[in-house]
Amino acid sequence: MNYKIWEPRIKLISLFIGMIILSGMRDIFYLGFGFFLIFIFALIHEVDYRTYMRRIFHMMPFFIFLLLPLSLRGGQGFEIEGLMFGLGIVIKACTGILAIMIIVSGQEEAIFWSSLRKLKVPAKLITIIFLTTRYLVLFKEKLNNFRKAVYSRQFQSGFTYKTFKTYGELSGAFIVKGFDQSEKLYKALWSRGFNGEMPIFKTSEIKILDLVKGFFIVGVCLILWFADKW
């Protein structure tokens, strides 16, 4: 029995419900326990911890600017209640990022989108999300290519008229190139008879182990929620 395989529909529903339950909690101890639970599932499903730490590192400025005003509320000195409240938000954010990584890992991308269709998510919405995520990645790659091309020509960043002129030229070229790529994409999809709906691929059958995992996560989160409220 392979414990790493989790049916995408059950995984999505159970983690989504679990995150909603955890978002309504305030106690640091129970939130930490919830994070530990999701972390164990992330280890089972072999989530790339380097990618996770990199995403948390990118969120660090937000966390710092969140904690400072909450812990120094009103400028009257340090407040432990404000700090605990801010730490709770940070733990929820870290848990949510980890849950999303579990949801999208462990299966092919096409299977994930097909699972959303079988959950009766509107086909047009799935297509919009798919194209957005796909071309955000391409946008980042093109941006890095622009950046490498500029710095290879000994460009030096700064706050001078020359640098702002270069930034403007690059932004204009990037927008024009993006518009041209979108036109090519539209014509390519139209020529292939694309009607706005992605094809549905066969997903795996729901097994007892999938249900056990789902009920376990939701059940533990509910226990933590009741313990937090009492």
The reported pLDDT for the residue numbered 136 is 78
Q: At a CB cut-off of 8 Å and minimum separation 6, what does 16 contact?
A: none
pLDDT tens digit at each of 230 positions of the chain: 555 677 788 888 888 898 999 888 888 888 999 999 888 888 888 888 888 888 888 888 888 888 887 777 655 667 788 888 888 889 999 998 888 888 877 777 777 777 777 777 787 888 887 778 777 777 778 778 877 887 787 777 777 777 778 778 878 877 887 788 788 878 887 887 777 777 666 666 778 888 888 899 899 999 989 988 87
> Would you call 153 helix, strand, or coil by DSSP?
coil
The reported pLDDT for the residue numbered 77 is 66
The reported pLDDT for the residue numbered 2 is 57
Tokens 């020359």 sit on residue: 162
User: pTM above 0.75?
Assistant: no
109-118 vs 123-152: helix crossing angle, rounded to 10? 150
What is the rounded distance in angstroms from the CA atom of residue 41 to the CA atom of residue 30? 17
> Would you call 117 helix, strand, or coil by DSSP?
helix
